[in-house]
Amino acid sequence: MAVYISSVFLLLLCSSSLLLEVSAGENAVLNVHIVPHTHDDVGWQKTVDEYYYGANKSIAQGSVQYILDSVITELGKNEERKFIYVEMAFFTRWWSEQPDDIKQKVHELVDSGQLEFINGGWCMSDEASTHYNAIIDQMSIGLRFIANTFGVSPSVGWQIDPFGHSSFHATSFSLFGFDSMMFGRLHYEDDEIRRNTSQREIIWKSSPSLGNIADIFTEVLYGHYAAPHGFCFDLRCKDPPIMDDNNLYDDNVKSRVDEFIETALTQAQSYKTNNIIMTMGGDFQYENSREWFENLDKLIAYVNKNGSINVMYSTPSIYTKYVNSDKDFRLSTKSDDFFPYANAPWDYWTGYFTSRPALKGYVRQCNAHLQACKQLEAIHNGMGDKGPSSIKLQQAMGVAQHHDAVSGTEKQHVADDYAKRLHVGEVECRSVMATVLNDLAAKGANAPKMNLSFCEYLNISVCPVTEGGDFSMVVYNSLGRPYTGVVHIPIIKRNIIVTSPDGSAVPVQVVPISNVTKSLSLIVTGDTKAEYVAVFEVTDVPPSGYAIYTSDGNNINSTQRSGAYIFRPNSSATFPVGSDNNNNAEMTSIMGDLLSEVRQVFSPWVSQVVRLYENRPAVELEYTVGPIPIKDGLGKEIISHFTTDLKSDSTFYTDSNGRDMQKRVRNYRPTWKYNNTEPIAGNYYPVNSRIYIRDEKKGIQFTVLNDRSQGGSSITDGSVELMVHRRLLYDDKRGVGEPLDELGVNGKGLIIRGKHLLILDTIDDSAYTQRMMAEELMMTPELSFTLNNGLQLEHYNLMYNGLSIPLPDNVHLLTLEHLDQSTILLRLDHQFESTDPEKWSTTANVKLKDLFVAFEIKEVTELGLGGNLALSDIKKLQWQTTDNETVPGPFNFPPVTGPDFIVSLSPMMIRTFNITIETRN
């Protein structure tokens, strides 16, 4: 059965528990829930620091510290007033600066329900460009801060600003124990239909594998998240205040009340119960909250005096309880997601799936660094009060998941700030890893410390410590199963001898470094010494453990317009990047026992290496793109296009934040008639880890794995494309205020390097291969190096196994994190879906007793996904669907009890535990 694949690069021109007395019923008065809020972007037009302090006012107004100061003061003046806050990255900073009397006041406001935390993550994360591992982490650090500081847990997901919404986010909110989620953006056609048919409240059935435990009540807000037209009372708004002195001629109470009642009744027509939510706030509002609250006090009082409707200060959680109290209320369901987002016929927000590809790649790398760092901290039982820690990288990664961070929709100086924060955290985590690896490796207290270093530029063949050929390499594997893979190490001379931990010689293939890579290393580092790359396989590196490989240098024998948000090409046509306009490439090939590769140079700014490894089930494509030329005055978007003869029937599949696969059908939406005005951009979807097409008759699947989030599609049957780079000359007028024109280190334009892995196999076998390889690509082992310089290997343990037995292949070690001297946070997740072959989708069991070598487990407490409250304490509201189903289902997981502490995992399940430990001697 013949299947051919061709690969080319193309460019496109361009919560507190409250007792509520709730009334419901057809004849009940309309309840209008006034929700004062501020939406504080954790970086966008300004950096996190600039937004917090109110700096750089020439770009934008806004100071979070003054917002919180003002709100706390004004809440204390009227016990009816309420306010919600979301972004813990800002709140924790403000909290740390407050004196005890202010902290006590905040505690009282939280206890009374006047101040409520909603969402509760470190940020309001993007939903397209984020990986589920990082989503859970950033939510977890925020939720745990709230629980530890105030003893409460948020109950509402509040994703009011992200540009499209993923199924995994809905699943995660349900597993966090939330009762509802609310958002503001959806496709303009979908929005209009739901507005006109009163379908803005649904049950989102987000995970077929998990079933109804993942179901969540979901509401689309009416006016995005702004105040209703005419009723914004922020210091930057121009709407008239409530003027109520009847001795003066400017009294406007009656007109304002009449206008508000009309606005409320109009909004109510789009919802099914006698409750509506009115968001009163916006971006960085409430810096002078007195103006807001005094006008809202008057508005509520005078409207209620009228008697036509009932207006109250409220919160999303209170509103959810009111809606839930209507026992006659039945909800329709939805099982697909809310991508792509468009706010007008020619305005598809799909460009940001790829925007700032270098930052997207760095965020993904830092996730792997962070997981390894946390694991080693846990194995070491912490680093002491004054030691280095993973906290800075945890917080930097939390900030980086923001919907104007990893999304690539921020200003350039803000993107630089995100990268700087990640680098600072990464440096400290490297200190953690070096310390722990040294301690694990040393045989006795007198063994000299290895001076371990980490090479930041291995992807462009730069690593000074290895270039001389006389080095040792520590490979740390953070997976829960043994790792076998190939490493590429830069060296100066041609020959090299590598020894495995058991002392046997390792086959090595030495490959000349390409001119493209040399030029890159010269641009980035200003120097290039290595002439070759030593390629060799590291085999069966232990799970949550390391292996040391040694090279002996002494034995060498010889030498509206596209913009940051919007993707809108000039036409559906693509153009080859090759200088001969036919996309023909200059090619050279290298053949060897370990790998064979073809180096393709399409143009001075586009090249690709195609690699085949011995005994590896995928073809590796390493691309180098940039600087994208713009002398012709045209912005460009570069795609990698793969063509096969598979009959894919307009259907392709993309992942949801690295978890469940989402079925996509070209020019089609399952819940509404789709009128696609943009045949390319309107069919682009976020691809976090993989995209594939299938030929059902042949039983063949073609999969592409990527190493960072990108936009992708199948525009024609049998094809797959992924956008890898963008350079644009105009702002798309969506708020960032500058074109996406990254200049790179030399000022000539950003150069990026990334990887795609191609898998062609049967549908059943692909299910296993794609999951395993995606896990490896996400959690690439950490490599650290030291010069030998007389290093005596007999002083060191050359291998360490962190687990007594590998985890099953269908189980992923998601989190192993030190909380204190006796407590570890553990997450395990099932990697397969219920529709995958039975061998892999079957329930997996993991025996925790004696699983970890470094410590003994004494007690296990199961938590919600956020790690902030016991699973047994989650009591979720129940809803009725139009199919007469009661959702969500209960968390009836098999208990984890001693002495064996066996964890049972069904497909796509993630289970979270606090484990009480005792360190082994």
The residues annotated as belonging to the active site are: 161
β partners of residue 220 = 183
Phi and psi at residue 202, to the nearest 5°: -140, 170
**Short-list 455, 587, 595, 624, CA closest to 511:** 595
Sequence-ordered list of residues with C-beta below 8 angstroms from that of 410, at least 6 positions apart, any chain? 43, 44, 45, 404, 418, 564, 736
Residue 462 half-sphere exposure toward CB, CA atoms < 13 A: 15
Q: Which residues, in sequence order, are bridge partners of residue 532?
A: 491, 512
Q: In sequence order, which residues have a C-beta less than 8 Å from that of residue 248 and are 6 or more positions away?
A: none
Q: And the tokens for 430? A: 């490297």
Strand partners for 859: 916
H or E element at residue 375 = helix 357-380
Nearest to 296 by CA among 233, 254, 226, 229: 233
Question: Under DSSP, is residue 144 helix (H, G, I), strand (E, B) or coil?
Answer: helix
Report the distance separating Cα 434 and Cα 590, nearest Å.
36
Nearest by Cα to 860 from 918, 916, 803: 916
Residue 806, preceding peptide bond in cis (omega within 30° of 0): no
Residue labelled with tokens 């060296």: 491
The answer to whether 334 and 202 have CB atoms below 8 angstroms apart is yes
Residue 385 CA to its chain's centroid (Å) = 30
- Residue 163 DSSP one-character state: S
Distance CA 574, CA 221 (A): 38
Q: Give the 3-state secondary structure of residue 695.
A: strand
The CA distance from 424 to 152, in Å, is 32
Any idea what the Cα angle at residue 533 is, between residues 552 and 527, rounded to 5°?
100
Alpha-carbon distance of 155 to 163, in angstroms, equals 22
Question: What does the DSSP 8-state code read for residue 796?
Answer: B
- Location of structure tokens 């994703």: 159
905 in Cβ contact with 807 (< 8 Å): no
Length of the chain: 921
Instruction: Report the alpha-carbon distance of residue 632 to residue 750 in Å, rounded.
Output: 17
Torsions phi, psi of 50, nearest 5? -60, -40
CA dist., res. 245 & res. 397, Å (int): 52
Tell me the sheet residues that pair with 549.
473
The CA–CA distances, whole Å, from 755 to 12, 432, 610, 624, 625 equal 20, 28, 10, 9, 11
Tell me the DSSP string of 173-196: HHHTT-SEEEE----HHHHHHHHH
Main-chain phi, psi angles of 347, to 5 degrees: -120, 75
* Cα–Cα dist 366/426, whole Å: 7
Backbone angles phi, psi at 647, to 5 degrees: -95, 95
Q: Residue 564's closest CA among 365, 394, 355, 420?
A: 355
Nearest to 13 by CA among 522, 768, 534, 577: 577
No. of H helices and E strands in the chain?
Answer: 17, 44
Q: In the beta sheet, which residues pair with residue 260? A: none
Written as six digits, the tokens of 753 are 């390097």
